[in-house]
Structure 1
Amino acid sequence: MAGPTALVSALHEELAAVLGLMPDEQQQVFGGRSFWRGHLHGHDVVAVLSGIGKVAAATTATALIERFGVQRIVFTGVAGGLAPGVRVGDVVVARQFLQHDMDASPIFPRHEVPGYGRSTFDADTALTDELVRASEQVLRELPATLGLDVTKAFGLDAPRCHQGLLLSGDRFVSTTAESTTLRTVLPDALAVEMEGAAVAQVCHDYGVPLGVLRTISDRADDAAHVDFPHFLREVASRYSGAIVEALLRQK
């Protein structure tokens, strides 16, 4: 029998949104983490909070595969936008992942992961295609229900779904200098966060399909003055719950 789908969230509010959709979740504690096993739209699922940063995310992914035998991992969270046109309230669905703070030079080229001969890892094509369809559906329907006060507060205007390179690193990027450097060195990057590339490396090792979507909460620069708790509660968590639900309804 095929294993469950893992639903991984980076933040408590997003996990709560997913758990709110599960009618029969049961908690299991393993490795210092709470895993919630249950069902959603006929799918056997395991929901868990990843923790912040690459080590915590990699540990969580490994536990999901080794302990629960998951057949695929779906990760949701927020990110800072980098590429022009990637705006607050947009969604980025990752096709590739790269650790922007990986640097074992001069032994290896900058960004290359030692032992792999590569700097990027890929998301699963089929699962990512499904996430794109689910995201585009939600972005057509959900923003109109958020309320005028929310859309005006965050400048939400025809949010879009972007696909491409997602950066990860154990540093919270929140200054113009940092984001400008990343855009210069890695011009194909759409957004930056702290977990995705680590999960992608684990999934590559185990041959487990991975799909990652990130809601853009800021532009990762000096102008990022968003009311983050409000954005997380009123926008990001609602996006995550709705997109996960739309994804699982596809099959």
Structure 2
Amino acid sequence: MTRLALISAMHEELAAVLARMPDEQKTVVAGREFWVGHWQGHDVVAVLSRIGKVAAATTATTLIERFGVTRMVFTGVAGGLAPHVNVGDVVVAREFVQHDMDASPLFPRHEVPLTGMTYFPSDAALSDALLAVAPLALADLVQSLPPSDWLGLPLDAAQVHQGLVASGDRFVSTDLESAELQRRLPQALAVEMECAAIAQVCHDYGVPLAAVRTISDRADDAAYVDFPRFIQTIASRYSVAVLDRLLAQLPVS
């Protein structure tokens, strides 16, 4: 039997997920609330990742060791890095890197020591499934939200991207930091604080991981301005829409 972990980055996203689980039961482990139940016939565990790489890694490890999850899907927001990735767009991760990992000169910058790895891949099949449903979920969001709730964003023109996502223990929120990350990791589409750590845990355990990130800001001097409104009005609704579509597509086993 497969058990799917649905990992949310924000409380609003988790609340929206739990509203779709008719039989969820709470278990508290390591100070975290894990919600075990079903969604569209799938055996699922829903949980907040917590913020930062260590917290996210602890959550992922507990999901595997205590709850026996066999695959993970992460939904959340991120800052856009690549010039063509705009607020309101969506990024499906194909690989992850820790942008603040630096054990040089003992190891190359960004390489995780003793693994020989710099980039940790997402699961191809799960990521393909996310990529297939993401445009449909965006269309669902546009149809369900009146334009007055679009926060001035051209959501009807939002794009779905796929590629590298960078993680680090810092909320990137200045033009200088963003430019430096783009210089060091020119392939990175977005930046956040959790997924590369979860990807490392999943690699160690052989558990498939896929992640989709809604771009809430451009990781620049204006990154904090409309963040709370974006989470509540757009990101949490998009997360549920994409998970609804994904779980409808995945076979129940």
Q: If the TM-score is normalised by the length of the shorter chain, which range does it land in?
A: over 0.9
Query: Alignment identity in percent?
Result: 65
Counterpart mapping for 1:210-221 below 5 A: 210-221=209-220
Question: Does 1:26 find its partner at 2:7?
Answer: no
Amino acid at match of 1:121: F
Q: Is the 8 A contact 2:93 2:122 kept in 1?
A: yes
Matches of 1:35 and 1:112 in 2, distance apart? Answer: 31
How far does residue 143 in structure 1 lie from its aligned partner after superposition? Answer: 1.4
Aligned to 2:221: 222
With normalisation by structure 1, the TM-score equals: 0.97
Distance 1:89 1:160 in 2: 8
Give the whole-Å Cα distance in 1 for the aligned partners of 2:154 and 2:224: 12
Q: Are the structure 2 counterparts of residues 36 and 225 from structure 1 closer, same or farther at C-alpha, using a change threshold of 3 Å? A: closer
**Which residue of the partner structure matches residue 11 of structure 1?**
10
Q: Secondary structure at the match of 2:171?
A: coil
Q: Relative to 1, partners in 2 of residues 1:151 and 1:34: Cα closer, same or farther, differing over 3 Å? A: same
- Structure-2 separation of matches of 1:155 and 1:224: 18
Measure how far apart 1:225 and its partner are: 5.3
**Contact 2:17-2:240 at 8 Å conserved across structures:** yes
Query: What CA RMSD, in Å, does the superposition of the two structures yield over aligned residues?
Result: 1.1
* 2:150 counterpart SS class: helix
Native 8 Å contact 2:49 2:56 kept in 1 = yes
Paired position in structure 2 for 1:191:
190
Mapped to 1, the partners of 2:136 and 2:87 lie a distance apart of 18
Aligned residue pairs, count: 250
**Which residue in the other structure is 1:66 paired with?**
65
SS at match of 1:24: coil
SS at match of 1:154: coil
Separation in 1, partners of 2:50, 2:224: 24
Match of 1:41 in 2: 40
Instruction: Provide the rounded CA distance (Å) in 2 between the counterparts of 1:16 and 1:152.
Output: 22
**1:195 partner amino acid:** E
* SS class of match (2:15): helix
Moved more, 220-229 or 121-130: 220-229
1:154 touches 1:226 (CA, 8 Å); kept in 2?
Answer: no
Following superposition of structure 1 onto structure 2, how do residues 95-244 of structure 1 map, counting pairs within 5 Å?
95-224=94-223, 226-244=225-243
Q: How far off is 1:147 after superposition?
A: 1.2
Structure 2, unmatched stretches of 5+, are none
Q: 1:148 to 1:120 in 2, by over 3 A?
A: same
| Paired residue type of 1:147 | P
2:82–2:187: 8 Å Cα contact kept in structure 1?
Answer: yes
Deviation at 1:43, TM superposition (A): 0.2
1:9-57 deviation digits (Å, cap 9, x = unpaired): 0110000010011111011111111100000001000000110000000
Contact map agreement 1:89 1:217 (CA 8 A) in 2:
yes
SS at match of 1:45: strand
- 1:87 maps to what in 2? 86
The answer as to whether partners of 2:167 and 2:194 remain within 8 angstroms in 1 is: yes
Deviation at 1:85, TM superposition (A): 1.4
In structure 1, how many angstroms separate the alpha carbons of the residues matched to 2:143 and 2:241? 13
Scaled by the length of structure 2, the TM-score of the pair is: 0.96
Provide the C-alpha distance between the structure 1 equivalents of 2:225 and 2:128, rounded to a whole number of angstroms.
30
Deviation string 1:83-108 (CA, Å, 9 cap, x unpaired) is 12111111111000000000000110
Correspondence for 1:52: 51
CA–CA distance in 2 between the matches of 1:142 and 1:10? 19
Per the alignment, in what secondary structure is the counterpart of residue 215 of structure 1? strand
Q: CA deviation at 1:157?
A: 4.1
Structure 1, unaligned runs of 5 or more: none
Q: Note if contact 2:98-2:196 (Cα within 8 Å) is conserved in structure 1.
A: yes
Alpha-carbon spacing, 1:152–1:27, altered in 2? closer, same or farther (3 Å): closer
Q: SS in structure 2 opposite 1:75?
A: strand
- CA drift at 1:227: 1.7
Aligned partners of 1:151 and 1:157 also within 8 Å: no
* In structure 1, C-alpha distance between the alignment counterparts of 2:62 and 2:32, rounded to whole Å: 9
